[in-house]
Amino acid sequence: MRSVLPLAFLAASFVSACDSDAPADPDARDTDVSPEEVRDTSPDPDTAPSPDADTTLVDTTPDTVTRVPVGPRACCLSMEGDLVIWSDDGVLMLWDSATNAFRPLVSGPSIAKDPVIAGRTVIFADNRLGDFDLWTLNLDETPPTPRLLRGGPGDQDQPVLQGTRLVWVGRDLAPHTPREAEIWTRDLAVPDSEKQLTSDAYEQTQPDVSGDKIVWADFAHSPDAMYIDVSDPLRNNADIFGWDLATSTPFTVTDDPSKQLRPAIDGDTVVWLDWRGINPEPKYSEFQVFVRRLAETGPNAERRLAWSSWSRPELWRRPALENDVVVFIAEPTTPGSGFVTGLLAVNVDGGAPWLVAGSTSVLDSVVVKDRHAAFVGASALGRVELRLR
Ligand SMILES: [Ca+2]
Ligand SMILES: [Ca+2]
């Protein structure tokens, strides 16, 4: 270790110096990534609304990609059927991919972010009352009118929604820092069903839900108890924890001593980004996609599905998971494709990842629903049928 550590810190400093105008490790909070710092604002020829827009993908992937032009700050999206909702510079946008019509759903002057949709219900975080609260609207209304769903001091944000099950992160207690972050949930169909699942001095973030199970990234075992924006490989060692609503008990997905973040759950299968075993330090040039089926325990229960070399932390995004297929944002390895990022898919049971769609700009988010994947990033938004392999 004596010979490794100085090298590690030298390398960490080097990364920090080279990347001084960007967050060293913004992976704990999507919304902390300043768009102008990490996203290419140049026109993206691959997403221009021309008939030839898709042809650049033909040689590398047979999947048909539908794309619409979006702004350089487009981020965070959700999908239900043909509808895709995302935040574009604080404005919530709605795209009906069946008719290729898109329009603003919630327009400033406040910032609307983190939209989720289930059925005709949309929930999002909005700071129009001074800090972020959870707001909701019904797409069947004309026009859909936002209503306050869950206010309170501090920020309430990062909602996830499956059916009527809502989960979010709330920093309700003063001084409302990440240390006060807790996981909250309620059933939208059941009055007075709100529950606070955590109560501690550590940061919880990036929740996801499937059925009775909720997972999140937890900083209880991290030296700083919360995400720290430094390029120190010994910091930010978050784990993946969860809560079973059926039994009202917590569970551990992984507490490996290295860093795990950005979990997604589908049924009893959980995937996340993982930095265990990556040498030499720092960890900031690579990441791995890991999986565990919750019924499996023991040394082989946590398995690596994919690995990607990428020195820009803004690429570390939450994988999407449905029916044992994981879709994640990474650097395509296809030579000469011109793609900066792409959607790659891999089966939970293993095998080589395949390219689903490529982008000439840096993608921000991916979701999968009903065998379709949707993605958004700098000047790029698309939806593609997910073909299995
Ligand atoms: Ca609030
Ligand atoms: Ca906490």
Domains within the chain, CATH numbers bracketed: 4-385 (2.120.10.30)
pLDDT number for residue 232: 62
The type of residue at 177 is T
CA of 111 to the centre of ligand 1 (A): 13
Q: How many residues does the chain have?
A: 389
Q: What is the pLDDT of residues 234-249, one digit of tens each?
A: 678 899 999 999 999 9
The type of residue at 137 is L
Name the average pLDDT for the chain. Answer: 81
CA of 244 to the centre of ligand 2 (A): 18
Cα dihedral 228, 233, 235, 236 sign: positive
The share of the chain scoring above pLDDT 70, in percent, equals: 78
Q: Which ligand is nearest to the CA of 184?
A: 2
Radius of gyration of the chain, Cα coordinates, nearest whole angstrom: 20
Nearest by Cα to 37 from 313, 366, 358, 381: 313
Higher pLDDT, 313 or 318: 318
Q: Summarize the confidence of residues 49-61 as an average pLDDT.
A: 31
Taking the CB of residue 352, how many other CB atoms lie within 10 A of it?
9
CA of 88 to the centre of ligand 1 (A): 21
Q: What is the pLDDT of residues 142-169, one digit of tens each?
A: 999 999 999 999 999 999 999 999 999 9
Confidence of residue 108 (pLDDT cuts 50, 70, 90): confident
- Supply the pTM of this predicted model: 0.82
Confidence of residue 300 (pLDDT cuts 50, 70, 90): very high
Q: Contact, 377 vs 339, CB < 8 A?
A: no
Helix (H, G, I), strand (E, B) or coil at 189: coil
CA of 319 to the centre of ligand 2 (A): 23
Starting at the edge strand found earlier in the chain, the sheet holding 83-88 runs 74-80, 83-88, 91-96, 101-106
CA of 104 to the centre of ligand 1 (A): 23
